[in-house]
Amino acid sequence: MRYRSVLVACVVVLGMLAAALPVAAQEAGEPITWVISVTVKPGKFPELEKATEKYDKPVFDRLVANGTIMSWGFGRQVIGPPSESGTYWVTAADWTAMGKVDKAFEDNYKSMKPEDAKEAMTAFYGATVPEKESSSVVRHVVFKGTPGGSVNYLARHVYKIKSGKGQAAMKTWKEYNAPVYDKLLAAGVISGYGAAVPEYHDGSGWTHTFWYSFSEMSQIDAMDKAFEEADKARGETINETLMSNWTQMHDMDAHWDSLMKVSMYGGAAK
């Protein structure tokens, strides 16, 4: 996908993280999200945001409107690794849909006047550090969301689960974390949540990412409270066992978190 503005210059698109964002979509099976992470030069995010709105947003919005993709987004990192300072993502049901995304940006690029294409490339390369760009595709194991929900923030917790421990880790997360997220989703505290694994490995070593989206930072307090209440209900003995098992399942030094402010988002309304 080497055709686009900001995406004209980077391998187009996409959730992730890691991250996919909520849409009406659990019937679609296990959707995939293509994520592109860029390192934005100091003070250049407004320029990158402006270029994205001008060159990429119209194409993405058409793809949402015609049902090709479930959602797309672009945001800046508030907390997390410096290499993840800006992220694009697009979520779709399958690779057939991703092929249509690629073609849409290729066609859009071909239709641009040479001076516009040059301007788009210049805008991207002028705002980012191209050699630090990375891309990945994830497959969602769990993907839940409220259609039309507000997506202003995206949080990701990324882990490197030890070999042979993947199924046990997912079983633990589904049994103890997912029910809390279900309650938060039903209460409107979060607009979506899920878990994903690499569809294509990019060499970074992570194996699982757990994500959730929400509208206001104050909702993090409500999330913390919900998990504290769940811990209290389980009791100290079970909690200590869970923590011990979880720490043995993953590489503690490889774990990282990200909180992203979503500046552009498009998703199916129903």
Q: How far apart are CA 183 and CA 1, in angstroms?
A: 39
- Asked if 196 and 154 count as a contact pair (C-beta separation under 8 A), the reply is no
In this predicted structure, what is the pLDDT of residue 29? 59
Q: How far apart are CA 265 and CA 62, in angstroms?
A: 13
pTM of the shown model: 0.83
Angle between helices 219-234 and 236-249 (to 10 degrees): 110
DSSP state of 17: B
- In our burial notation (b when 16+ CB lie closer than 10 A, e otherwise), range 180-196 reads bbeebbeeebbbbbbbb
Domain boundaries, the chain: 1-270
Give pLDDT < 50 ranges for the chain: 1-28, 270
Q: Does domain 1-270 have CATH number 3.30.70.100?
A: yes
Q: How far is CA 156 from the centre of its chain?
A: 8
